[in-house]
Chain A
Amino acid sequence: EVQLVESGGGLVQPGGSLRLSCAASGFTFSSSSMNWVRQAPGKGLEWVSYISSSTSTIHYADSVKGRFTISRDNAKNSLYLQMNSLRDDDTAVYYCARDDYYGPTPGWFDPWGQGTLVTVSS
């Protein structure tokens, strides 16, 4: 069964840092591009970042560029999101999602994990 499980969310103060992890199983992680997508409370879905299977291509949303870093460890079947200089508007459920398009840029996302909640508040 294809599965993605996020972890690492929690409460952090503005300006703080947090590292999210996503454990993948049931598919060849090393061949798959991956994404992070978030949903702020009461809001819609917002794409955050993309990393290709080989890490040769990385993209970020403008809202997180320079503050967030996506990475992966193919030996551990894991995806990461290092979040620095966190702001109140980064509060959201963060989902990891496999990119099922296999093109050079983000495509469609399938499957998704259940998400991990990040709350930025003093």
Chain B
Amino acid sequence: DIQMTQSPSSLSASVGDRVTITCQASRGVRNYLNWYQHKPGKAPKLLIYDVSNLETGVPSRFSGSGFGTDFTFTISSLQPEDIATYYCQQYDNVPPTFGGGTKVEIK
């Protein structure tokens, strides 16, 4: 199985800060990489698919980049409603696998 390693596992930032999360695959997954937002007690939500494609309705402050084994997820200006845990997920191989998650908090 492809292992997905996210870092950091948690972070604390101020409203308006730029936040960056990295995701590394144990072997290349081409551009088959997605990002999700998960708030406690809520359904996970797809934010980005295929590295950089924003799901309909997702604010433009969210973005993604990368290819192969190294990927980056960015929130350009952190908002209070962005408090959540974020997960990367590869689907180049079955089983699809998730990163361990990054918990984002407000400082």
A interface residue numbers (CB < 8 A to B)? 4, 37, 44-47, 50, 59, 61-62, 95, 97, 100-101, 105-115
Residues of A within 8 A of B97 (CB): 47
A4–B34 Cα distance when bound, in Å, is 21
Known contacts A95-B44, A108-B89: A46-B98 contact under CB 8 Å: yes
Residues of B within 8 A of A113 (CB): 43
A114–B16 Cα distance when bound, in Å, is 30
With an 8 A cutoff between CB atoms, is B46 at the interface?
Answer: yes
Beyond the given pairs A45-B87, A61-B95, A110-B46, 13 more chain A to chain B contacts, judged by CB atoms under 8 angstroms and listed by A's residue number, are: A44-B98, A44-B99, A44-B100, A45-B36, A45-B38, A47-B96, A95-B43, A107-B32, A108-B49, A108-B50, A110-B55, A112-B45, A115-B43
A105 touches B91 (CB 8 A): yes
Consensus secondary structure, chain B interface: loop
B interface residue numbers (CB < 8 A to A)? 1, 32, 34, 36, 38, 42-46, 49-50, 55, 87, 89, 91, 94-101
